[in-house]
């Protein structure tokens, strides 16, 4: 399926009418995805550890990088060129140990559920060999223009399921 060519101006941006799938399943990952984040001094609070609000943001940045690695397109392109939104309907993060600027933060991204029109991710943040946070998220696939749920397009679904099979963790489909 090719990208929609007809568009409509919505809230100051142009969104496609309808939605599209990627041309073929994207098969680039052969191991669980890890996104590296450099934590800076400005990311910390007066206690000299990561400011709490940054932690979910880093988890979501990992998921955004995962979409690019798993599907070959990022959230911006999925939304504005393919007409598909993926708003989060659930976020849950638990903090395990402090994060500081004294090492890279490695955010691992796993798929834990693929539904008809939703996807669940687990993220884990490690720094200097310690588990710093875990997170569970659920995002819905929606038509970007109407914000109504839609099925995950077949080639995107196949790419996601193939990733889930190589991640060495259980998932539900």
Could you please report the per-residue DSSP string of 91-106? EEEEE-S---SSS-EE
In angstroms, what CA-CA distances link 165 with 110, 113, 115, 127?
A: 10, 12, 15, 26
Q: Are 14 and 146 in contact (CB under 8 A)?
A: no
pLDDT band at 1 (very low <50, low <70, confident <90, very high): very low
pLDDT in tens, 104-113: 999 999 999 9
**Going from the N-terminus, what domains does the chain have, and what CATH number goes with each?**
37-166 (3.10.129.10)
pLDDT in tens, 90-124: 999 999 999 999 999 999 999 999 999 999 999 99
For helices 54-71 and 154-166, angle between their N-to-C axes, nearest 10 degrees = 110
- pTM given for the model: 0.89
Q: Match 């991204």 to its residue by tokens.
A: 109
pLDDT in tens, 6-57: 777 767 777 777 888 989 999 888 899 999 999 999 999 999 999 999 999 9
């Amino acid at each position: 399926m090719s990208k929609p060519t007809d568009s409509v101006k919505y809230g100051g941006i142009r969104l496609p009418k309808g939605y599209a799938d990627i041309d073929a399943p994207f098969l680039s990952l052969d191991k669980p995805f890890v996104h590296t984040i450099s934590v800076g001094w400005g990311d910390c609070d007066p206690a000299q550890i990561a400011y709490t609000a940054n932690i979910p943001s880093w988890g979501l940045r990992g998921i955004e990088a995962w979409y690019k690695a798993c599907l070959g397109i990022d959230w911006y392109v999925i939304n504005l060129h393919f007409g598909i939104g993926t708003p989060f309907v659930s976020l849950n993060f638990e903090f395990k140990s402090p994060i500081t600027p004294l090492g890279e933060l490695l955010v691992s991204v796993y798929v834990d559920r693929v539904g008809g029109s939703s996807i669940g991710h687990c993220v884990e943040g490690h720094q200097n060999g310690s588990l710093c946070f875990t997170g569970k998220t659920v995002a819905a696939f929606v038509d970007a223009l109407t914000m109504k749920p839609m099925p995950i397009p077949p080639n995107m679904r196949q790419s996601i399921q193939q990733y889930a099979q190589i991640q060495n963790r259980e998932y539900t489909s």
